[in-house]
Amino acid sequence: MQSQTKILIVDDDPDIREAVSTILEAHSYQVVTANNGEEGLRKLKEERPNLMILDLLMPKLDGFGVLKEIQDPRWSKYSKIPILILTSIKEDVSRRRYELETGLDLNIDDYVEKPINPGILIERVKKLLEKRTHS
């Protein structure tokens, strides 16, 4: 199953995109990348990934904006795609900011803080993908 599993990485830092891609590809995942939220939404439609790894702080459209957009009913066919936040912002700070800006809960499936621990990243990715196939 992993060989057909496609993961979209949305991060403006090319070093992070490369590091995460390398980790995922070493575990036989297919990787698609985007360098900002606008490109990430476009790739979400084009590529139909099984999972999205999303940074929060990016130019053009940040991760908060991507999350808000995906909650719009026009994006409902993408709402089941698991989202793993990968960011340098502490989780409680991110949740609070999102709630204040949107009035909504930060509806994500998992959260990993940078710097990346490859073992933890792969463990979380596998867990989210398994959860998706069993739901």
* pTM (two decimals): 0.88
Q: Determine the topology of domain 2-134 in CATH.
A: Rossmann fold (3.40.50)
More confidently predicted of 58 and 132: 58
- The stretch 3-15 carries a mean pLDDT of 92
- The stretch 90-112 carries a mean pLDDT of 73
| The pairing of beta strand 30-34 with beta strand 51-54 | unpaired
pLDDT of residue 2: 47
Q: Model confidence over 18-69: pLDDT tens digits? A: 999 999 999 999 999 999 999 999 999 999 999 999 999 898 999 989 998 9
* Residue 8 confidence (pLDDT) above 90: yes
Determine the Cα–Cα distance for residues 25 and 40; give it in Å rounded to an integer.
19
Q: In the chain, which residue ranges form alpha helices assigned H by DSSP?
A: 14-25, 37-47, 63-70, 91-102, 118-134
Q: Is the bond preceding 14 in cis, omega lying within 30 degrees of 0?
A: no
More confidently predicted of 2 and 23: 23
- Reported as type and span, the H/E element at residue 85 is strand 83-87
- Residue 87, exposed/middle/buried by CB under 10 A (0-12, 13-18, 19+)? buried
Handedness of CA 86, 83, 110, 91 (dihedral sign): positive
